[in-house]
């Protein structure tokens, strides 16, 4: 068991170590200290350091990983939801310093932090190896996750491997698991504008739901709820919550959408207009 | 002849548009739309006052997103608006929820109602303006009726009135609805069994099996399903109520003549409304949905971990409300311009509106003390503005990011605790704030127009002396006159705004405008320990520096010394109650800031409407409280807004007030277990242990709400991670108990992990409740109807006399 843990952690270091060498994106941030009350108001961050298109162009899925959680948050809060994506997006997750599971591990682990780090590294590795990204079905407002190694997953959940919906991704057949609903909704980090929400709570309403496997992410399982905002066309920054507790960051990237570029309309409330009343005329 | 007929026609039109109408304008009658019933309720006002009244009655100022999306998704509290507002239970709505019916709304299918079926209105009542509104459900392009609001004196540089956001009535006054452009009729019908006119499929539990986790789940938690309406609140939702002078014959169906906008709704169960979609055994329901009728815990949403529901008191006679000079007030003030490159959080000019600038600066000035402890202390207009935040206005752009997240236990993460929101930022980013702020004078003028409602008038007497005669006859010859002396000698010190000596003061004198000269309260802050009433409200912390509403407290407020006579932490402004006004006290029982002193009141609705009354009468036991069995507990009094109903409640409450030793103690207890279970239950065929917590029925809700559980959890973690540092910190804080406290936490930190999956965490910690409350209780008060013993030692005849005299207030 110890040997397996060691192997996992070595692998993790190998896999993650590459990402750690990337320099952080050269964009401005507001100052802060550790206590919660020193974290700057997002509205003020945006006022002092609005993210220009040039700034957003400097952000990549790789260099985000070099930032501590507070800086990732400051980026996220300066983004808008963008259009609800469509199609397959390559996914990757990261645990930033002082945030999510990384921080929970430190806080909860205390003296046993090293052991928790090992668990985290393993989790990181396993999820990164298995989870390939997300497929958005924009018209149906649904989503599924692309999972590699169908045989391993089938064994884990004790289901027939042939029961999985599948798709092709980068020349490989992947399972399309963990269906979720897709809509514009409240961000758990920054209330000032909506995010695109990926909610697994009612995945059982989605056609092809596999209770044994898919319920893991649902309302009676880990209660996963993701939210994403667009960095630039084809590139979204996401946050995953379990039971409303922030767990990890992730990125979604679609090369074709990135190349197509363009300024697609916002689908969600951007904090400025009021789509509910849609004031068509002010006669005064 | 032509002139005469034109004149008659004009009279007819005026009569049709100004009198109470029983049927709202119907489809196709958009030209006749007039949602102006409030003007009948508030007849006789000036244009400015009536403009203020309209804002008070209707303006939601953007709160609809808060109570449709934010509450549910970010705060995690589900509101079942259909349960509250369904048209087919309109007749029981007042009794169940204490909401006041809008006389201009009708149940579809009822006689004269333009809507013939519930499908047309998505299960709600049909109200004025709904012809336009209903045609925009599921579509963009709705033009809010607020856009037609007429500013007295012209619009000038005011923010667009569209941002007042009126929508139309829901059938309950103060709750307003807006068409949801995101509504998808096909989705709605799918979840509701093919029907448009019900929300039952949307709100029903997904399982009928109490053991199944889906027993607690409904599609209310599914934010992908957009309801037909967004529901917003106007300030009137808590303040519009029955006119004590003209109570309705049928409280479920009042007429406009029976209503007033600033009376304060003594019957409303707003805490139950806010948690109406939560399971009965959820912490949200058990801890927060038990406020007494007519009270609201305005810090429940900011979550300051202090149990402090307070009354929605009457706003009357405020021209004579005491003010306090020489207070240090840091606030935004109008200036002609701002220096170049000003920090916009210090000085800001509204773009495109030359000369409309404000600067935040400190001045010494005279201000009112508003709220129970005088927390709102930078000006009366700012206090009115802040009420809009309480109803949810500007939540997303301004203050939601500054609230506590109940689940965040890491002091290094955002939302571990409150932070202070910047009023300047809110003004820049929230047009709804500007729409209200630019019209605060209108609302203030409406408030200033509110006159007292005296018992002699309510009884239809011609002269106040006739009431004195009646009271003397009832309570003893000369009782009123004697009561005046008793009041002067025992009560006026706090409950008069005149100066000593009081013996010859006329406490009931009026000025030429009909306002009382005496506010019958001096509004001065009194230490909570001196008043002795349930002190949690005095420990409200939202206005402390660095807390969410910190900028609404003056520097003088923040500098107030704490109350060293109470066990709980005070200071930073906390620890006081304002000596409140007794004007029209005959109409506002039960008493005290929490409505706890006097008989409990209840609606007693008929099924299937919900009945929320739960007796809070208790006796103390060795380790807690026991709810008195029904045969031992005093009966609750059914809602009775009639003149004699109010008077009877007043007398009974006064008897309790003046006989403290005869009060049956009240403590709000959980009326069901709280059961929490989180985590993965299985993977494949492998069962997995979940995290469980169970708190048993009968535990005191107030103590649980006021427990600073975040500090407790953090110290438990510290007890494992660094016990030496924890001990040093606790000893430094409390030399006498610190070491033993550290040992206790160490013991609990060892024991609790063994009970994460059996639900017994609470049971393990419960024997140490008193020590844990000493360490982590933000408010450890117990009896909710205790305190204010003043008058308890008076002879019986003097007590009767005081009851007689105060009835003339």
Inter-residue contact A88 to A258 (CB < 8 Å): no
Using the 8-state DSSP alphabet, how is residue B150 labeled?
A: P
Query: Is residue B359 pLDDT above 50, yes or no?
Result: yes
Q: In which band, very low, low, confident or very high, does the pLDDT at A18 lie, cut at 50, 70 and 90?
A: very low
Structural tokens at position B413: 């993460």
Is A115 inside any structural domain? yes
pLDDT in tens, B632-647: 999 999 999 999 999 9
Does the distance separating the beta carbons of B217 and A219 come in below 8 Å? yes
Q: In total, how many domains does chain A have?
A: 1
Helix, strand, coil percent content, chain B, rounded in steps of 5: 40, 10, 50
- HSE-up (13 A, CA, CB side) for residue A10: 6
What is the helix (H) or strand (E) element at residue A237, kind and residue range?
strand A235-242
Model confidence band, residue B24 (pLDDT cutoffs 50, 70, 90): low
The confidence score (pLDDT) of residue B623 equals 87
Whether residue A103 and residue B410 make contact (CB cut-off 8 A), yes or no, is: yes
Interchain contact A191–B (C-beta under 8 A)? yes
Which residues in chain B have their CB less than 8 angstroms from residue A36's CB?
A: 410-417, 419
Phi–psi pair at B667, nearest 5 degrees: -140, 130
> Is B402's CB within 8 Å of A219's CB?
no
Range of the domain at A61: 2-260
Which residues touch B499 (CB under 8 Å, ≥6 apart)? none
Within a domain: A256: yes
What distance in Å separates the CA atoms of residue B800 and residue B806, rounded to the nearest whole number? Answer: 10
pLDDT bucket at B99, cuts 50 / 70 / 90: very high
CB contact under 8 A, A278 and B141: yes
- Overall residue count recorded for chain B in this entry: 809
3-class DSSP state of B503: coil
Would you state the pLDDT for residue B236?
96
Interface of B with A in 472-501 (CB under 8 A): none
Q: What is the distance in angstroms between the Cα of B528 and the nearest Cα belonging to chain A?
A: 29
B714, B716, B718, B723: CA torsion to nearest 10? 160
- Residue B612's nearest CA partner among B64, B95, B47 is B95
Per the structure block, which two tokens stand in for B385? 């503005």
A270 in a structural domain:
no
- In this structure, how many other beta carbons lie within 10 angstroms of the beta carbon of residue B529? 17
The C-alpha atoms of residue B271 and residue B698 are separated, in whole angstroms, by: 19
* Band of residue A11 on the pLDDT scale cut at 50, 70, 90: very low
Q: What's the mean pLDDT when you consider all of chain B?
A: 94
Structural domain contains residue A87: yes
Give B230→chain A minimum CA distance, Å: 8
Give the mutation candidate from B344, B396, B404 for the A interface (greatest A CB count, under 10 A).
Answer: B396
Q: B687 - beta bridge partners?
A: B682
> Residue B733 class from Cβ within 10 Å (0-12 exposed, 13-18 middle, 19+ buried)?
exposed
A271 located within any domain: no
**Dihedral in degrees, nearest 10, Cα atoms B274, B276, B281, B287:** 20
CB contact B250 to A (< 8 Å):
no
Q: Do A275 and B148 touch (CB under 8 A)?
A: no
> Residue B31 above 50 pLDDT?
no
pLDDT at position A282? 38
User: CB–CB of A201 and B221 under 8 A?
Assistant: yes
The reply to whether A162 touches chain B by the CB within 8 Å rule is: no
Q: From the centroid of its chain, how far is CA B336?
A: 37
Residues of chain A in contact with residue B413, where contact means CB-CB under 8 angstroms, are 36, 99, 103, 246
B190 close to A (CB below 8 A): no
Q: Name the residue of chain B whose CA is nearest to A190's CA.
A: B401
Instruction: Say if residue B728 is exposed, middle or buried (CB neighbours under 10 Å; 0-12, 13-18, 19+).
Output: middle
Per the structure block, which two tokens stand in for A63? 């260099």
CA B45 to chain A, closest CA, distance in angstroms equals 24
What's the CA gap between B412 and B409, in Å, rounded?
Answer: 9
Tell me, yes or no, if B407 comes closer than 8 A to chain A by beta carbon.
yes
Contact A36 B180 (CB under 8 A): no
Buried b / exposed e over B707-723, threshold 16 CB at 10 Å, is bbebebebbbbbbbbeb
- The pairing of strands B682-683 and B686-687 is antiparallel
Contact A147, A177 (CB under 8 A): yes
A80 assigned to some structural domain: yes
Min distance A214 CA to chain B CA atoms (Å)? 10
pLDDT of B2 strictly over 50:
no
A184: its two tokens:
């514009």
A142 and B CB contact within 8 Å: no
pLDDT in tens, B383-430: 999 999 999 999 999 999 999 999 999 999 999 999 999 999 999 999
- Please state the rounded mean pLDDT for residues A88-100: 92
Rounded mean pLDDT, A273-282: 46
When pLDDT is cut at 50, 70 and 90, the band that residue A31 belongs to is: very high
- Note whether B69 contacts A243, CB cutoff 8 Å: no
The 3-class SS string of B445-499 reads HHHHCCCCCCHHHHCCCCCHHHHHHHHHHHHCCCHHHHHHHHHHHHCHHHHCCCC
What local confidence, expressed as pLDDT, does residue A117 receive? 60
Sign, Cα dihedral of B600, B604, B605, B609: positive
d(CA A109, CA B698) in angstroms, rounded, equals: 35
Torsion sign across C-alpha atoms B671, B84, B393, A77: positive
Q: How many residues does chain A have?
A: 284
DSSP class of B605? P
- Residues B697-720 pLDDT 10s: 999 999 999 999 999 999 999 999
CA distance B413 to chain A (A): 5
Determine the average pLDDT of the residues in A104-118: 59
SS3 B716: helix
CA angle B277, B190, B217 (to 5 degrees): 30
Question: Which whole number is the average pLDDT over A148-156?
Answer: 90
Tell me if chain B has a CB within 8 Å of the CB of A98.
yes
Report pLDDT for A13.
38
Portion 110-169 of B in contact with A at CB < 8 A: 140-144, 147-148, 151, 155, 160-163, 165, 167
Interchain proximity B223–A159, CB inside 8 Å:
no
Pairwise CB contact (< 8 Å): A110 & B722 = yes
By three-state DSSP, how is residue B579 classified? Answer: coil
Chain B within 8 Å of A68 (Cβ-Cβ)?
A: no
Looking at beta carbons, which residues of chain B come within 8 Å of A193? 396
- The closest CB to that of B397, out of A73, A99, A271, belongs to A271
Residue A129 reports pLDDT greater than 80: no
Dmax over Cα atoms in chain A, in whole Å?
76
Here the tokens at position B463 are 């002269």
pLDDT digits (tens, 9 = 90+) for A226-239: 999 999 999 999 99
Q: Which among A205, A274, A276 is the nearest to B180, CB-wise?
A: A276
Q: Are strands B229-233 and B175-179 parallel, antiparallel or unpaired?
A: antiparallel
In a domain, A272, yes or no: no
Q: Which residues of B touch A156 (CB under 8 A)?
A: 683-684
User: Mind telling me how many Å the CA of A259 is from chain B's nearest CA?
Assistant: 30
Higher pLDDT, B225 or B687: B225
Residue A33 contacts B where some CB pair is shorter than 8 Å: no
Using pLDDT thresholds of 50, 70 and 90, give the confidence band for residue B795.
very high
Radius of gyration (Cα) for chain B, nearest Å? 27
pLDDT at B303: 84
Q: Does residue A277 form part of some domain?
A: no
Q: Which residue on chain A is closest to B206 by alpha carbon? A: A202
- Short-list B129, B105, B125, CA closest to B34: B129
Secondary element (H or E) of residue B721: helix B709-721
Arithmetic mean of pLDDT, B725-752? 95
| Residue A46, pLDDT above cutoff 80 | yes
Cα–Cα nearest to A157, from B679, B690, B688, B213:
B688
Closest residue in chain A to residue B688, using alpha carbons only: A221
Contact present, B378 and B331 (Cβ < 8 Å) = yes
Contact B410 A212 (CB under 8 A): no
- φ, ψ for residue B491, nearest 5 deg: -120, -30
| Total Cβ atoms within 10 A of residue A261 | 10
Q: How far is A97 from chain B (nearest CA, A)?
A: 12
Q: Is the reported ipTM for this assembly greater than 0.90? A: yes
pLDDT the model gives residue B19: 35
pLDDT above 70 covers what percent of chain B? 96
pLDDT value of residue A17: 41
- Residue among A125, A73, A64 nearest A99 (CA): A73
Tell whether omega for the bond before B386 is within 30 degrees of 0, i.e. cis.
Answer: no
What pLDDT was estimated at residue B678?
A: 83
Q: Give the A:B interface size as CB pairs under 8 Å.
A: 182
Instruction: Provide mean pLDDT across the span B355-362.
Output: 98
Considering only CA atoms, which of B456, B448, B515, B498 is closest in space to residue B507? B498
Q: Is the pLDDT score of A111 beyond 80?
A: no
What is the C-alpha end-to-end distance of chain B, expressed in Å? 54
CA B435 to the chain's CA centroid:
22
CB proximity A165 to B under 8 Å? no
According to DSSP, the residues that pair with A237 across neighbouring strands are A229, A251
Would the CB atoms of B717 and A243 count as touching at under 8 Å?
A: no
Quote the longest CA-to-CA distance of chain B. Answer: 100
- CA dist B188 and B196 (Å) reads 7
Between CA B809 and CA B794 the distance in angstroms is 20
Q: Kindly indicate the confidence band of residue A110, based on its pLDDT and cuts at 50, 70 and 90.
A: low
Q: According to the model, what pLDDT value does residue B315 have?
A: 95
pLDDT at A118: 60
How many angstroms away from the CA of A134 is the closest CA of chain B? 18
Distance (Å, whole) CA B294 – CA B239: 9
Tokens of B53: 């009244």
Which among B778, B743, B750 has a CA at the least distance from the CA of B764?
A: B750
Phi, psi of B533 (to 5 degrees): -75, 170
DSSP state of B516: B
- The answer to whether the Cβ–Cβ distance between A243 and B680 falls below 8 Å is no
CA B456 to the chain's CA centroid: 30
Integer Cα distance of A74 and A55 in angstroms: 13
Is the pLDDT at A59 greater than 60? The verdict is: yes
CB B299 within 8 A of CB B306: yes
- A201/B222 touch (CB, cutoff 8 Å), yes or no: yes
Burial of residue A20 (CB within 10 Å: 0-12, 13-18, 19+) is exposed
Question: Confidence class of residue B12 from pLDDT cuts 50, 70 and 90?
Answer: very low
Q: How confident is the model at residue B161 (pLDDT cuts 50, 70, 90)?
A: very high
Q: Does A190 touch chain B (CB under 8 A)?
A: yes
B residues 701-720 closer than 8 Å to A (CB): 717-718, 720
Q: Which residue in this structure is represented by tokens 């709804």?
A: B432
Instruction: Report CB contact under 8 Å: A35, B412.
Output: yes
For residue A160, report the phi and psi dihedrals to the nearest 5 degrees: -70, 125
pLDDT for res A127: 78
B321 close to B368: Cβ distance less than 8 angstroms: yes
| CA of residue A119 relative to chain centroid, distance | 20
Instruction: Report the DSSP beta bridge partners of residue A101.
Output: none
**Closest Cα to residue B713, out of B753, B675, B767?**
B753
Statement: residue A149 has pLDDT above 50? yes
- pLDDT tens digits, B51-70: 999 999 999 999 999 999 99
- Residue A275: CB atoms within 10 Å: 16
Q: In terms of pTM, does the model score above 0.80?
A: yes
B351 at the A interface (CB within 8 A)?
Answer: no
Q: Which candidate in A68, A242, A270, A276 is best for mutational testing of the B interface (most B CBs within 10 A)?
A: A276
Per-residue pLDDT averaged across A213-223, rounded?
Answer: 92
Nearest Cα residue in chain B from A109:
B721
Residue B238 banded pLDDT, cuts 50, 70, 90? very high
- Are residues A36 and B685, on separate chains, in Cβ contact within 8 Å? no
Phi/psi for A130 (5° steps) reads -90, -40
The residue behind tokens 């893991």 is A216
Q: Which residues of chain A lie closer than 8 angstroms to B165, CB-CB?
A: 274, 277
**How far apart are the CA of B680 and the nearest CA of chain A, in angstroms?**
4
């Amino acid at each position: 068991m110890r040997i397996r843990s060691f192997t996992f952690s070595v692998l993790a270091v190998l896999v993650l170590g590459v990402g750690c060498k990337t320099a952080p994106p050269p964009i401005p941030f507001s100052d802060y200290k550790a206590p919660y009350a020193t974290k700057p108001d997002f509205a003020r961050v945006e006022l002092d350091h609005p993210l220009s298109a040039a700034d957003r162009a400097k952000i990549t899925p790789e260099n985000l990983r070099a930032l501590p959680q507070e800086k990732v948050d400051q980026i996220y809060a300066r983004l808008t939801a963008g259009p609800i994506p469509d199609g397959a997006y390559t996914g990757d997750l990261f645990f930033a310093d002082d945030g999510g599971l990384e921080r929970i591990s430190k806080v909860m682990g205390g003296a046993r932090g090293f052991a928790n780090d090992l668990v985290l590294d393993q989790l990181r590795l396993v999820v990164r190896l298995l989870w390939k990204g997300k497929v958005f079905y924009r018209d149906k407002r649904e989503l599924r996750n692309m999972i590699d190694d169908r045989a391993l997953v089938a064994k884990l959940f004790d289901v027939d491997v042939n029961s999985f919906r599948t798709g092709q991704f980068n020349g490989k057949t992947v399972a399309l698991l963990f269906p979720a609903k897709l809509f514009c909704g409240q961000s758990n980090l920054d209330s000032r504008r909506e995010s695109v929400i990926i909610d697994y709570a009612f995945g059982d309403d989605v056609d092809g739901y596999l209770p044994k496997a898919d319920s893991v992410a649902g309302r009676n399982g880990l209660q996963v709820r993701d939210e994403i905002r667009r960095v630039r066309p084809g590139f979204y920054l996401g946050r995953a919550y379990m039971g409303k507790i922030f767990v990890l960051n992730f990125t979604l990237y679609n090369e074709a959408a990135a190349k197509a570029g363009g300024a697609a309309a916002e689908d969600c409330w951007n904090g400025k207009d009021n789509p509910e009343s849609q004031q068509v005329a002010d006669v005064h | 002849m032509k002139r005469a007929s034109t004149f008659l026609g004009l009279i007819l039109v005026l009569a049709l548009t100004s009198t109470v109408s029983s049927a709202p304008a119907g489809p196709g009658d958009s030209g006749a739309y007039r949602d102006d019933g409030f003007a009948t309720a508030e007849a006789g006002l000036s244009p400015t006052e009536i403009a203020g009244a309209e804002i008070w009655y209707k303006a939601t100022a953007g709160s609809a997103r808060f109570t449709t999306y934010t509450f549910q998704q970010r705060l995690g509290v589900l509101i079942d608006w259909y349960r509250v507002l369904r048209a087919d239970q309109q007749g029981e709505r007042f009794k169940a929820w204490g909401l006041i019916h809008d006389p201009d709304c009708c149940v579809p299918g009822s006689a004269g109602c333009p809507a013939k079926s519930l499908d047309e209105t998505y299960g709600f009542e049909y109200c004025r303006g709904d012809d336009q509104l209903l045609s925009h459900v599921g579509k963009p392009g709705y033009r809010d009726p607020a856009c037609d609001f007429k500013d007295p004196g012209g619009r000038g540089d005011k923010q667009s009135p569209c941002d007042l956001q009126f929508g139309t009535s829901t059938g309950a006054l103060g709750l307003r609805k807006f068409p949801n452009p995101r509504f998808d009729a096909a989705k709605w019908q799918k979840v509701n069994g093919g029907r448009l006119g019900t929300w039952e499929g949307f709100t029903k539990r997904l399982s009928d099996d109490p053991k199944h986790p889906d027993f607690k789940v409904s599609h209310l938690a599914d934010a992908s399903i957009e309801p037909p309406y967004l529901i917003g609140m106007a300030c009137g939702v808590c303040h519009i109520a029955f006119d004590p002078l003209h109570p309705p014959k049928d409280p479920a169906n009042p007429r406009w003549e029976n209503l007033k906008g600033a009376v304060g709704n003594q019957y409303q169960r707003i805490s139950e409304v806010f948690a109406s979609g939560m399971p009965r055994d959820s912490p949200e329901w058990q801890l927060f949905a038990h406020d007494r009728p007519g009270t609201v815990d305005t810090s429940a949403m900011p979550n300051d971990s202090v149990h402090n529901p307070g009354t929605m008191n009457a706003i009357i006679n405020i021209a004579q409300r005491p003010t306090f000079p020489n207070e240090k007030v840091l606030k935004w003030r109008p200036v002609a311009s701002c220096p170049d490159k000003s920090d916009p959080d210090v000085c800001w000019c509204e773009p495109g509106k030359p000369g409309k600038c404000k600067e935040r600066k400190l001045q010494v000035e005279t201000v009112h003390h508003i709220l129970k402890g005088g927390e709102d202390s930078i000006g009366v207009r700012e206090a009115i503005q802040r009420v809009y935040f309480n109803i949810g206005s500007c939540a997303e752009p301004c203050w939601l990011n500054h609230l506590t997240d109940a689940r965040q236990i890491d002091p290094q993460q955002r939302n571990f605790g409150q932070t202070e929101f910047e009023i300047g930022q809110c003004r820049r980013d929230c047009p709804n704030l500007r729409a209200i702020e630019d019209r605060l004078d209108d609302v203030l003028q409406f408030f200033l127009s509110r006159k007292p409602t005296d018992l002699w008038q309510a009884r239809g007497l011609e002269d106040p002396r006739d009431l004195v005669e009646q009271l003397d006859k009832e309570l003893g010859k000369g009782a009123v006159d004697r009561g005046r002396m008793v009041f002067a000698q025992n009560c006026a010190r706090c409950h008069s705004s005149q100066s000593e000596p009081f013996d010859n003061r006329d406490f009931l004198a009026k000025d030429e405008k009909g306002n009382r000269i005496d506010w019958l309260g001096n509004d001065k802050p009194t230490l909570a320990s001196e008043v002795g009433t349930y002190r949690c409200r005095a420990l409200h912390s939202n206005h402390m520096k660095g807390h969410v509403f910190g900028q609404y407290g003056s520097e003088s407020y923040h500098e107030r010394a704490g109350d060293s006579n109470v066990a709980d932490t005070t200071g930073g402004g906390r620890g006081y109650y304002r000596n409140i006004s007794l004007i029209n006290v005959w109409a506002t029982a039960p008493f005290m800031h929490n409505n706890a002193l006097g008989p409990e009141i209840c609606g007693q609705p008929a099924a299937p409407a919900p009945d929320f009354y739960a007796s809070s009468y208790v006796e103390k036991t060795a380790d807690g409280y026991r709810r008195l069995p029904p045969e031992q507990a005093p009966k609750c009094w059914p809602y009775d807004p009639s003149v004699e109903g109010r008077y009877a409640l007043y007398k009974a409450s006064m008897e309790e007030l003046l006989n403290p030793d005869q009060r049956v103690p009240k403590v709000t207890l959980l009326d069901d277990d709280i059961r929490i279970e989180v985590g993965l239950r299985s993977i494949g065929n492998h069962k997995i242990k979940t995290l469980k917590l169970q708190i048993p029925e009968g535990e005191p809700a107030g103590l649980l709400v006021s427990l600073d559980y975040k500090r407790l959890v953090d110290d438990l973690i510290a007890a494992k991670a660094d016990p030496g540092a924890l001990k040093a910190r606790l000893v430094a804080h409390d030399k006498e108990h610190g070491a033993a406290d550290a040992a206790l936490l160490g013991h609990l930190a060892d024991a609790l992990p063994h009970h994460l999956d059996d639900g017994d965490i609470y049971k393990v910690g419960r024997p140490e409740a008193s020590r844990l409350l000493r360490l982590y209780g933000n408010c450890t008060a117990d009896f909710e109807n205790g305190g204010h013993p003043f008058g308890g030692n008076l002879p019986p005849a003097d007590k009767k006399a005081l009851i007689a005299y105060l009835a003339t207030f």
